[in-house]
Homo-oligomer: A and B are copies of this chain.
Amino acid sequence: MKRVSSTEAWTGVADCRNCSIRASVLFAGLKEEVFDSFHRPIGQITYPAGSTIYSAGEPATALFTLRSGLVKMTQYLPDGTQRIVRLLRKTDLLGLEAMVESDYPHTAIALQTTEVCRLPVDYVRLLSQTNIQLFQEMMGRWNKALSSADRWITEFSTGSARHRVVRLLLWLAGDGEESCDLFSREDLGAVLGLTTETASRTMAELKRKGFISEPRLNHFLCDVPSLQRLLKS
């Protein structure tokens, strides 16, 4: 058993047969026999908040299915500016680029305690050579990644600071949900293309006006209807 870094915890070989998110993962369409026929080199790993799953420029050796938690994908400009280009959650697939490129283009860092299944890229390639449905599933994943990137552009990089923050809160809260866990103001700014101070001010203003409350640290309750109304003004 090999430990790649001192922060992560290898939790063992994944039991895909009894996977609780089986219906949502990359292999959802495959018959059990198909991927049982190989020795499955799929490991479960738990990353504590703040730990790096992989860094930009590293050899891309694996894809990851997120079982729980929250991951930020950061991209750097030549001049050092950085921007968070995506946030990934439960059932999202991390590191798809490994299928095509030799190095990871982003840095992936866990913002909360995050559990993943690690799928070695060679293994996925092998499976995909004989299983057309896996390709279908994978194209769906590429498409999902692309539309979330587009969403990033239109929702989180367009309009006033307040609109951007509100859109992100609603995205984090998800459908019908009113609560969401948030992260540092610095990351909030990096997601929205704003400075830390502006992000902080805007959050504070929303709190003062009663649109959100913070019953415990970094955990927020959102008045969803009011926030949605804010977007229209």
Interface residues of A (CB under 8 A from B): 75-79, 81, 83, 85, 96-97, 99-101, 105-106, 128-129, 132, 135, 138-140, 142-143, 145-147, 149-150, 152-155, 157-159, 193, 231-232
Contacts and interface: CB of A to CB of B under 8 A. Distances in A.
Q: Specify the main secondary structure of chain A where it touches its partner.
A: helix
A226 B152 CA distance: 31
B75 A154 contact: yes
A100 B143 contact: yes
12 contacts: A77-B154, A79-B231, A97-B143, A99-B143, A100-B143, A135-B135, A146-B149, A149-B149, A152-B153, A153-B157, A157-B157, A158-B193
A143 B128 CA distance: 17
Contacts of A150: 75, 85, 105-106, 149
Contacts of A99: 139, 143
A79 B101 CA distance: 37
A158 B132 CA distance: 39
B143 A101 contact: yes
B97 A154 contact: no
A104 to B, nearest CB: 12
Given A77-B154, A79-B232, A157-B157, A143 B143 contact: no
Complex A-B, nearest 9 residue pairs according to Cβ-Cβ distance, in ascending order: A142-B142, A149-B149, A157-B157, A100-B143, A83-B154, A85-B150, A75-B154, A85-B153, A83-B158
Contact of A153 (B79, B83, B101): B83
Given A77-B154, A81-B158, 15 more contacts: A75-B154, A77-B158, A79-B232, A83-B153, A83-B157, A83-B158, A97-B146, A100-B139, A101-B143, A105-B147, A138-B139, A139-B139, A142-B142, A146-B149, A149-B150
Nearest to A233: B79
Contacts of A142: 139, 142-143, 146
Given A143-B97, A143-B100, A155 B77 contact: yes
A59 to B, nearest CB: 16
A118 to B, nearest CB: 20
A135 B142 CA distance: 12
